[in-house]
């Protein structure tokens, strides 16, 4: 089961990609009350492993005909900002 990219006049909801690493790391570090981790190499490496797992899960869940319950990127269309 594949969830298409969803679009509104202002937003695009799509799968996360490897290119989202730095912005999603900054967003999640701030959201979890750990803004100092945004510049921590070890935390970035851990976030990268999570992002790789997330990206791989899209394909694997589709192969298993499982609903794609997981994280998605919400992008502001005007700036292409996550």
48 Cβ neighbours under 8 A, 6+ residues apart: 21
Residue 39, pLDDT score: 87
Distance of CA 82 to the CA centre of its chain: 9
- Average pLDDT for runs of 10 along the chain of length 82: 90 97 94 87 95 93 86 96 96
b/e map of 11-25 (b: 16 or more CB within 10 Å)? eeebbbeeebbeebb
Sheet holding 6-7, edge to edge: 6-7, 11-14, 73-76
């Amino acid at each position: 089961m594949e969830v298409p990219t969803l679009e509104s006049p202002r937003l695009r909801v799509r799968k996360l990609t490897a290119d989202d690493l730095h912005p999603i790391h900054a967003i999640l570090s701030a959201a979890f009350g750990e803004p100092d981790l945004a510049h921590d190499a070890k935390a970035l490496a851990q976030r990268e492993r999570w992002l790789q797992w997330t990206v791989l899960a899209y394909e694997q869940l589709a192969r298993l005909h499982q609903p794609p319950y997981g994280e998605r990127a919400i992008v502001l269309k005007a700036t292409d900002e996550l």
